[in-house]
Structure 1
Amino acid sequence: MTKTNPGNYFEDFAVGQVIEHATPRTVTEGDRALYGAIYPTRFALPSSAAFARAVGLDPHPVEELVAFHIAFGKTVPDISLNAVANLGYAECRFHRPVVPGDTLSTRSEVIGLKQNSNGRSGVVYVRSTATNHRGEVVIDWARWVMVHKRDAASPAPETVIPELAAAVAPEDLVVPPGMSFTAYDFAAAGEPHRLDDYEVGERIDHVDGVTITDAEHMMATRLWQNTAKVHFNTQARPDGNRLVYGGHVISLARALSFNGLANAQLLAAINAGSHVAPAFAGDTVYAWSEVLDRAETAVPGVGALRLRLVATKGRDESMTLRGEDGTYADGVLLDLDHWALVPR
């Protein structure tokens, strides 16, 4: 009897199937330090314990994407070890800040299946929930991933495509208990801009770029215990390239967005996300954002910006998302629709 785990193929999934993912992971200050070493992040709240304490968050939380990557990484051996590519996200909410010492576990439910027309792969839809060691929900999200079939001749399952909300409603955003931006230190944060300083439809060029290296993206992906073959094994893809984990591009773009959105201190939700094109070592990633909506919250001094964060291969000063035919413009790597909490 084999004792190794070859990962699940498309035909191994069934709608309604629930998977408890292995290896709970305790968050440490080392995660914060390594995240800052890998990504050019400068947001004041996860960078400064004093800043976090001043806005009511004590102990000092790590970046939301640290928790997301760890929780996501738990799902890979069961969901996407044999993936072609991760395709998108929806209905992701950050329920509470994660602090060093929290131990995260993840479970997933299969909510949809659709075999591709080539018969060699299919799309698996899952809803995943990450909890801490106290059993509190930290993050939940839906995603869909293209997975290889073990046997192209195996029959296709019944197609089930879940209905997913286009966006998390502003009233469903979770503001961390005790947090207030009434005494917000704009000088420490690095920019003076409040909620009302941003106009719906405004586009912000984040200017800076980062060139990806194989060593960097593989170290980051190992940090989150993401074991997908395509990120490490040059024999896993016909072109012999290591595919960059899509979350690596998300974190690069989020970090770059500091320049122009320094006060978008916390991610509250990811409404939708698409990894439009693959990224590889040698690609230089730039980012720009579009303001999609603004909302107030019931918490003193706290507002929410709905933003489209776009990562591109090479800088696109025209900030073009789609061509005249409606397809994504050349060079677009990531299209991420999300809510961020800002002072108002």
Structure 2
Amino acid sequence: MTENLAVHGLAAHDSIVETALDWIDAGKGAALATVIQTWGSAPRPTGSQLAISSDAELAGSVSGGCVEGAVAAEALEALEDGDCRVLEFGVSDDEAFAVGLACGGEIKVMVEPIGIGRGPDAAMIRALAEARAKRKPAIYAVKPETWERRLIMPGAADDLADEAATARRTDKSGFAGGTGWFLGVHNAPLRMAVIGAVHIAQPLMRMARLTGYDALLIDPREAFATPARFPDENITHDWPDAALAAFGLDERTAVVTLTHDPKIDDPAIIAALRAPVFYLGCLGSSRTHAKRVKRLSEAGFSPEEIGRIHAPVGLDIGAKSPAEIAVAIMAQLVERLRKAA
């Protein structure tokens, strides 16, 4: 049976493909609905997906309200007739709220029954899920005019390779200009490693999960990192360098250090600086950071490498309480992810 990644920390809203395969493995039919274009206001961006089982179970979202219901009804029909379809929904400002749009807008949704008729082969969707499980970015490309499909992996020889690379880098699904191909981006799920089981880590871990991150709390001090203080969180008491090596650091991972203790923070910072993490934030005053810079410089890191550190950590919003500081950290982390330039 296909492994449901939600069990291993993948946020439910990001395990749509895996859920659809679980339904198929359970002997049910499953269809995928994908937002392929939007105009005006739309609550879900292109690439957003909804999975629908033959038992009318739903996972994910393409809009909300009446749009979701209409898409599900069409998906059930697709599971019967084997035809793919592209649905268009448009509403006025007055009607918008009832169908899940903040104000007037239009959305176009592609519906594909898996392994039935003109839908994608289940083997292709499994290959996509396997790439996601291995944290390998993949592009699921579809040409609605002909219902041709392909998976595009980094480095593959493909006439859409450049467009696919841009889509992966910007994390934006959409049509490759003039080609008729829709490129659905499936980047690795977001993750966060938090070093230090301090007060700030308590709201930060919860916020990370709510934002869709697979978060790991790292602190070798067992008296601090306890299930009682951090219920339902992933915790390790390994030293940060070993814990991060096991966790794996890549361009979809953020690292936040919170202890103020160089013995604990520095190994994590060094590991993060040697990896392509998209965010590295370190708690501490400007004075504390100056000492940190000195230690890292003496360890051989260049000013450019050290400049990747966000310190003092978080956006400057005047935060005081642990929860406010956690908000500032999450805000800066999202800004770095979504507005990297």
Check whether TM > 0.5: no
Q: Which has the larger radius of gyration?
A: 2
Which TM-score applies when normalising by structure 1? 0.27
